[in-house]
Amino acid sequence: MNNNISKIIFFYYYKIQYFSLLVDLLYRKKHLHFNKEIDITDIDMNLITQEKFIAFYTGYIEKELYDTKSYFTSHPQLSNELIEQLIDRKISIIGIDSAGVKRGSEHRTTDQYCADRGAFIIENLCNLDKVLNQKKVREFTVNTYPLNFEDMTGLPCRVIAEILYAI
């Protein structure tokens, strides 16, 4: 067997469901500079409640091609203060449409820091603009379907948003 290929150990077909909040940072920061940190002044912290999935839409995944050097080195990142506030509010998952909540050497240590405190990071989220549907903030339900691969540092998953529209 080729050691360069990760093999799937199993796929457990159950969903983990979260009440969720998606924040449009591209709208809030009309000229979002991707190298600037996202901090607590960029979101209404009163909307953040325990055990939610909090996702941040920056538009970065649409701007920069995945798997380029700049995708991993110039993406928006969350400030340490914002990460602490999210953890203090006992959120379950932080989602973002870029390569992570931190860059470089801080990436892995921040992911582990959050995980040790019960908050997990989901990166590279796509189609958040469609979930927002031109709203600045959107509440919805999200389901995660984790895949478990051998010898990986992360845990890939499918993320599916459930949005109820009034008729």
Q: What is the per-residue pLDDT across 27-42, written as a single tens digit (0 to 9) for each?
A: 555 545 566 788 898 8
- Select from 64, 51, 52, 60 the least CA-distant residue to 78: 60
Q: How far apart are CA 39 and CA 83, in angstroms?
A: 9
Asked whether the beta carbons of 140 and 163 are under 8 A apart, the reply is: yes
Residue 5, exposed/middle/buried by CB under 10 A (0-12, 13-18, 19+)?
A: exposed
Q: Mean pLDDT across the stretch 12-41?
A: 65
Axis-axis angle for helices 80-88, 105-116 (nearest 10): 10
Confidence class of residue 50 from pLDDT cuts 50, 70 and 90?
confident
Q: What is the per-residue pLDDT across 95-146, written as a single tens digit (0 to 9) for each?
A: 999 999 999 999 999 999 998 998 989 999 998 888 888 778 888 888 888 7
Does residue 166 or residue 89 have the better pLDDT? 89
Backbone φ and ψ of 138, nearest 5°: -135, 130
| Structure tokens belonging to residue 12 | 């457990």
Task: Name all domains of the chain by residue range, CATH numbers in brackets.
Answer: 8-162 (3.50.30.50)
